[in-house]
Chain A
Amino acid sequence: AQKITQTQPGMFVQEKEAVTLDCTYDTSDPSYGLFWYKQPSSGEMIFLIYQGSYDQQNATEGRYSLNFQKARKSANLVISASQLGDSAMYFCAMIPRRRIQGAQKLVFGQGTRLTINP
């Protein structure tokens, strides 16, 4: 079974600073994918970034980057130059990547509430 742990219930950061949100995972699957989603107060889950377990490089998407350390089973999200609009809940999630095509169950962590102060 997969498990995601996010140990920071809340974080407060000054605008324009970089912020790192922690995520550790546990799985016995040799191949898996890791995701980060943002959930603003409106409730919609917004996909931010993806990292495959066999990807050689850390994923980047604009101001978002994923610090993937496979041996430590960690997949931390780094947001550079934070903005007021980054204030939201952030969820780490993982999925097994199995040979059988079809729907796959996404397992979520408990989330981290990020607040950006002006």
Chain B
Amino acid sequence: DGGITQSPKYLFRKEGQNVTLSCEQNLNHDAMYWYRQDPGQGLRLIYYSQIVNDFQKGDIAEGYSVSREKKESFPLTVTSAQKNPTAFYLCASSVAGGRYTQYFGPGTRLTVL
């Protein structure tokens, strides 16, 4: 089955620690995205990537970093510089054309203790 996987489902972090969230897709999509969702809110774009070894900042990139070494993978690192990292993180992918419909993974819920 084609789809997007994210791991872990739940993640707990102590203040001052960096953590990395995994996102893998087997849809053969060129474009991948990371969003953050706070309770009762819509999604906000953190980073996106159009192609391997290329990525751009979204609307709320401060305190986050990404890499895109493989087409299938787009990991997100939440650094200690992110002041309020507790949130739900969603990864998505799309073809780089046409309708640009984005398909989402199941999400990772990050809690800072």
User: Hey, which bits of chain A sit against chain B, CB under 8 A?
Assistant: 4, 33, 35, 37, 42-47, 50, 52, 91, 95, 97, 101-106, 108-111
Contacts and interface: CB of A to CB of B under 8 A. Distances in A.
Interface of B: 30-33, 40-45, 48-51, 56, 58, 88, 90, 92, 94, 96-97, 99-107, 109
Contacts of A52: 99
Q: Which of A35, A102, A105 has the most CB of B within 10 A?
A: A102
Contact of B109 (A33, A43, A103, A110): A43
Nearest to B93: A103
A108 to B, nearest CB: 4
Given A91-B42, A103-B31, 14 more contacts: A44-B104, A44-B107, A45-B104, A47-B102, A50-B99, A101-B96, A102-B96, A103-B30, A103-B50, A106-B33, A106-B102, A108-B43, A110-B42, A111-B42
A42 B106 contact: yes
Contact of A43 (B40, B50, B107): B107
A-B CB proximity, top 5 nearest: A103-B31, A108-B42, A45-B104, A102-B50, A103-B50
Contacts of A102: 30-31, 50-51, 96
B109 A106 contact: no
B101 A43 contact: no
Given A43-B107, A102-B50, A103-B94, A33 B100 contact: yes
A45 to B, nearest CB: 4
Given A33-B99, A103-B33, A91 B41 contact: no
A11 B18 CA distance: 39
Contact of B101 (A35, A103, A111): A35
A38 to B, nearest CB: 11
A105 B48 contact: yes
Contacts of A37: 104
Contacts of A97: 100
Contacts of B88: 43
Nearest to B109: A43
